[in-house]
Structure 1
Amino acid sequence: MNFEPTERQQYWRDRVRDFIETNVRPNTGTYTEQDAQGDRWKVIPIVEDMKAKAKAQGIWNLFMPPQGQLSHVDDSFEFDGPGLTNLEYAMCAEEMGRIGWASEVFNCSAPDTGNMEVFHRYGTRAQKDQWLKPLMEGEIRSAFLMTEPDVASSDATNIETRIERDGDHYVINGRKWWSSGAGDPRCKIAIVMGKTDFGAQRHAQQSMIVMPLDAEGVTIERHLPVFGYDDAPHGHMEIALDNVRVPADNLLLGEGRGFEIAQGRLGPGRIHHCMRTIGTAEEALAKMCRRLQEREAFGKPIYKHSVWEERVARARIDIDMTRLLCLKAADMMDKVGNKSAKQEIAMIKVQAPNMALKIIDDAIQAHGGGGVSNDYGLANSYAHQRTLRLADGPDEVHARSIARMEFAKHAPQPNSDAVSSGDMGATR
């Protein structure tokens, strides 16, 4: 195994890192000021300025599938990004994770990333022209509506939203929540998962359809804060869908193909979160180390107290172990595909946010009362990472999947006990 990054991996990682350190990090104060001014749900100018710079430098849409991974419907290459593999993108995404708004600067923020991948893989040429192109250009934003308040959405077969054919249209009825991104005034469309056939086989009932957010019958009822943070202008919304009519051509791939699309969307999306989480953990560790060396308690610098030496050492170990697992999962996705890498994807999805939460919590402790305030960004980071233990499937679902695959590896063979007893008897 070669653990050294290739020249190409270093090239893209360093371009992203240099851009963040030169342009994004120096403007974090400007971002905070602009975010605090006026309406909460607005376009933040400094983000748009940075996006224009990144786009001009070609550090843009880095997550898009490499050339050669053709759409299931349309084999046009004109919608491809720069062609990074999952492993190459992993290193870039870690850098983006260090600052909360950095990923948007490169047009690499959720849920747009997952939605663009859906259009790229499953969209018709007309759907790509209408929605994928402006998303890739950064002209609009999008939302993904899957989770529902009245059912356990960790089992997506439970969803109750109806998508019913009516002539040349589909009519959508239901209620969604935690619809991330719907608060942004640039959010123009949503991909909605619902059921087109309640009588079909369990995993063939669901479909996905593209819904304009300004369609009649779409009501954003409230935003849902996370531990008091509204995450504006991105936001997480509860949305009522009351007889929303959309053209039949807005259906993605076909009726009953929703689960197929969801699996194609969520695999890369899960690991994207994990890549950024490693950067978030690195940032928290850096803040913790600086703070511990700046303060004294009980006659000596805080960092010289053994409890903090142990916590910092554990943080470094855990980050590096998690990074290796994440890179392994990304490499497997590139070499053998998402399906064959599903155990590694599930493992990193459980490990990464839990690792980051522990380190952020220690960093909060190191900062004392300042840690739980808004002054150091740690409380906000904690809220975001805690959400990731639920987003794209809760820990329990991924742990169940990991365990089932492990049990399958070690399933008892027929007559194995009898063979074993016979062997032992023969040696006596």
Structure 2
Amino acid sequence: MNLINCLLLLLAGLLALSRGQLTFGHDGDSCSSSSQQQSLETDEGSPSLKITPANADFAFRFYYLIASETPGKNIFFSPLSISAAYAMLSLGACSYSCTQILEGLGFNLTELSESDIHRGFDVLHTLNLPCHRLETCMGSDLFLSHRLKFLEKFLNDTRTFYEAKHFHTNFYDTLGTMKLINYHAKKETQGKIVNLVGELNRDIMMVLVNYIYFKGRWEKPFIPSRTIRQNFYVDKNTSVRVSMMLQDREYHWYLRDQHLPCSVLRMDYKGNATAFFILPNLGKLREIEEVLTAELLTRWNNLLRKRTFYKKLKLYFPKFSISGSYVLDQILPRLGFMNLFSRWADLSGISKERKLHLPTSFHKATLHVDEAGTRAAAATSFGFTFLSAQINEHVLQFNRPFLVVLFSTNTQNILFLGKVVDPTKP
């Protein structure tokens, strides 16, 4: 009899901003002098840099789909967490299922070998290098059933390429296994991701948990005593009260795009990370979403390295916490993962004993922004002032929906991507 047992993928992203910096190669401090990290920035042929275009392509395809289906909602996710988890899963997929996963993630298999793709995810090791200025932690845990014999090649490859930790557990003890998984997710994300797993069933034979935690400190933190209550205009008919942070004595990198109806602010962190906050003109959010690409971010970044865009700015920016939760088995089939969540998927590279099935997969990410910076995880009355940013070139008010991109400068990867529509909704 052909028994079908279940796998479960859980992906968690936590972002915490405190003070930071993004560049696709920036001028800030570097936290590691390792030759491996330096090669990421200088060797264009390195596997780590070869996978960044596909990772960026997947990030925006995922964003476009979510934005089109949930207009008017906050969006926040970690594309790198999702890509790394599914690339690791592909180590246990065979034939068409393996091809489907990797091509769904945006990789061109005629240009990149599977080996190069997996070696490229050495970015996980780089993100985990110790840095006193920036807290970044990314990894994967595999929780394996005692009842199933897993192929040594799959286990060895997940350790080699993704530094995955393996835990053998008894899935008949669903409560004990749930506590074990939640404990590890909480531990690895500094306590920010709790109760990742709500329930398990006895058919599950393996749980893959991918997590990412980021905590950055602003290069130019806000002064808490200057934070005031102001309106944030969700749309033409809705406003909410938020705690609005204020800076009016600092210089910042920002521009008003001459070709697109938006302003772009680059907020730097201490360490190898930068955040872009993109503020569309009134009523132009959809227009900016439709043209947002990695190439556009690169153009903005190149401009924002010119001294002419470094100006004294009166900046209003909201304190907030937001989160995003996504059932990936309902989303990824529309991005090319056609049969992965069906019973026709071939996951025989994980185990030969039983046919394995991936019925569902979840991703959760949270973002918290305050005066000191940002925390994030995947294991945030002075009148109607919509147009103030256009009226005074030295004033920038994030008092309406905006986009956020958090970028790792030494790995050249988008860590988090999102949209803040209502900062009062978690």
TM-score range, shorter chain: under 0.3
Task: Report 1 or 2 for greater relative contact order, CA contacts < 8 Å, sequence distance ≥ 6.
Answer: 2
Between Structure 1 and Structure 2, the one with more helix by share is 1
Q: Which has the larger radius of gyration?
A: 1
TM-score of the two chains, using structure 1 as the length reference: 0.25
TM-score of the two chains, using structure 2 as the length reference: 0.25
